[in-house]
Amino acid sequence: MKHFSDFSADDLADLARSDVSRALAEDVGGGDLTAALVDAGRPARARILARESAVICGRPWVEAAVLACDPQARLTWHVGEGEHCSPDQVVLHIEGRAQALLTAERTALNFLQLLSAVATKTATFVETVKGTRAAIVDTRKTLPGLRLAQKYAVKTGGGVNHRIGLYDAVLIKENHIAAAGGVAPVLQRVRDTAPQARFVEIEVETLAQLDEALACGATMILLDNMDIPTLHEAVRRNAGRAILEISGGVNLQTVRALAETGVDRISIGGLTKDVKAVDFSMRFESL
C-alpha cells in the first residue's frame, strides 16, 4: 500500500469511494425500504446544516455517498474543506432525486460528522501549541477500517501523520527492546531487517535509555510518560541530535507545557480514538 503522504487527488477519491461502498452496503443492503415510499423520479433540494462550530472535513466521502446513490446529483459547498463553520451555518446544498438523497443521507452525515470531529480536535491542539516547535501527531489508535480517512482528517486539521501501519515505519517499544536483548541490539538489527522503513523510532522511558539510544545513533526517539523536568533535561541532553517525540498523558490542559519543553512532536491517540461527532443535519427544501 502506498503511503498516505503520496496520495494524489484521484487516490483520495478512490479511498472515499471504497469506504463509502462498504458503508452503503451495511446500511442499504438489498434496498432502502423507507425511501421506497417516495416516488423514484421526484426531485429534491436539501441543505446540510452544522449545529455547532467545527472544521469541515470529509468532502470526498460526502460526495462519494451522494453520487453513489444519484450520479446526476449536484453538490454546492458553502464551506471549504479545512475551513471553519459556525453553528446553524449551511455548509452544503444538494440537488438530486429525493429517494437517492434519503438513502445517502446517513452515510454522508456519518463520514462528515466523524472526520470533521477529528479535524476540529486536531486544530484545537495545533492552536494550543502555536508558537512552539512542536507538531501535533496522530497514532494507530483509529477506528478499524477507517485509518486513512481519519489520518486525512488529522492532516486537514493541521496535524502530522505518524506511521500509517506496521508496514511503513518502525517504532521500537519496550517489549521489542526486551525481546531483542536491549537498545543497542535492536537498533543494529533494524538496519538489516527494515531498510525500506520511512523512519525508525525507538521509545525510551528513562534518561539512561535516552543516552544509550543517542550513543547508538538513534535519529528519532519517543520519550514515554516523562514529567516536565525530565523532558527539559532530555531536550538538553539531545542537543538537536535526534527528533524527539513525546506521548502519554497529553490533553488540552497539559499539551502547552509539554510543547514548551522544546520537543519536536507530540503524539496524541485521542485525536482519532476519543472523538465526539460534530452535529450535522440534512433538511429538505421546497423546489
Which residues are part of the catalytic machinery? 106, 141, 173, 203, 224
Query: Is there a contact between 47 and 105 (Cβ–Cβ < 8 Å)?
Result: no
One-letter identity of residue 41: G
Residue 43 has φ and ψ, to the nearest 5°, of -80, 160
* CA 91/CA 104 separation, integer angstroms: 17
In the sheet where 170-172 sits, what is the strand order? 135-137, 265-267, 243-247, 220-224, 200-204, 170-172
Q: Scanning the structure block, which residue is given the C-alpha cell 539512561? A: 208
Bridge partner residues of 49 (DSSP)? 90, 281
Q: Report the SS3 class of residue 136.
A: strand
Query: Is there a contact between 51 and 102 (Cβ–Cβ < 8 Å)?
Result: no
DSSP class of residue 276 equals P
Burial letters 11-23, b for 16+ CB under 10 A, else e = ebeebbbebbeeb
Query: Is there a contact between 50 and 91 (Cβ–Cβ < 8 Å)?
Result: yes
Taking the alpha carbons at both ends of the chain, their separation in whole angstroms is 45
* CA 280/CA 277 separation, integer angstroms: 9
